[in-house]
Amino acid sequence: MIHRIKEWLEHYFSNDPDRPGLEHLPRAKTPGPEPLTGQRLIVLDLETTGLNPAKDHVIAIGAVAIENLGIPLANQFDLILRRPELDIRETVLIHGIGPDALTRGHEIEEALIRLLSWMNGDPILAFHSAFDKRFLEKALKAQLGYTREHTWLDVAEILPALFEPPGSGGRLDDWTDHFGLQVSERHHAAADAMATAELALIALNRAIREDLSTLSQLNEKLRIGRRLKHLQSP
């Protein structure tokens, strides 16, 4: 996979007029009948300059793959983007990414194409996925003109659909503490993606025990839960 992506990037960024366009990137996949036991999923976490996608920007991308209900440690994505022009004084104490790191980071366009190729169109999981989805879609459109819709599922929604929420709340830290997981470093994209992936695996195994054996079945359970919550709201 890594060798194929390298060849694709070298061809894309060459001066060859016949280099591949974005239409040659992998197509996004929709939840189907494939069993969860054999489903490849992408767990994504972004670090940004703030919380407002209208004015803030992605500065780091962390992701891990879930394959066959496991996390292959060699199959990870961890990049800081080259954004030396950004003012990160208000958020550097949160994510620890300073001006030097942003100066030495990876070129944005290349990093995003590498990410799309590595994801291979597989469904994406994130904790509070709406946040990551808005920021990633904004970056893809601005940098690449890429507007394809991917399948996103929210681990923060999946967990309480299958488990009694922890009394301390529904944050990532609350769930990792609830299940006794060790997080190597918070507000680091790759570490947060790994923590989210471990939580996702716990949830997927519970879903299978509850006869939700495919991603489409799990997605339908979440849809029904949202509908019931809407009907019960005043």
What are the extents of the domains in the chain?
A: 37-232
Rounded to the nearest integer, the mean pLDDT of the chain is 88
Q: Residue 59: what pLDDT?
A: 94
What distance in Å separates the CA atoms of residue 26 and residue 37, rounded to the nearest whole number? 22
pLDDT over 90, % of the chain: 68
**Each residue's pLDDT tens digit, 40-71:** 999 999 999 999 999 999 999 999 999 999 99
**CATH level 2 (architecture), domain 37-232:** 2-Layer Sandwich (3.30)
The pLDDT of residue 116 is above 90: yes
Q: Residue 104: what pLDDT?
A: 93
What distance in Å separates the CA atoms of residue 202 and residue 178, rounded to the nearest whole number? 12
Q: Residue 149: what pLDDT?
A: 93
The pLDDT of residue 2 is above 90: no
Of the candidates 9, 31, 32, the residue with the CA atom closest to the CA atom of residue 19:
9
The pLDDT of residue 206 is above 50: yes
Tokens standing for residue 176? 């990792």
Mean pLDDT of 20-47: 87
Q: Residue 183: what pLDDT?
A: 82
The pLDDT of residue 20 is above 70: no
109 or 91: which leads in pLDDT: 109
Cα dist from 232 to 51, 161, 203, whole Å: 30, 16, 25
| Contact of 195 with 206, CB cutoff 8 Å | no
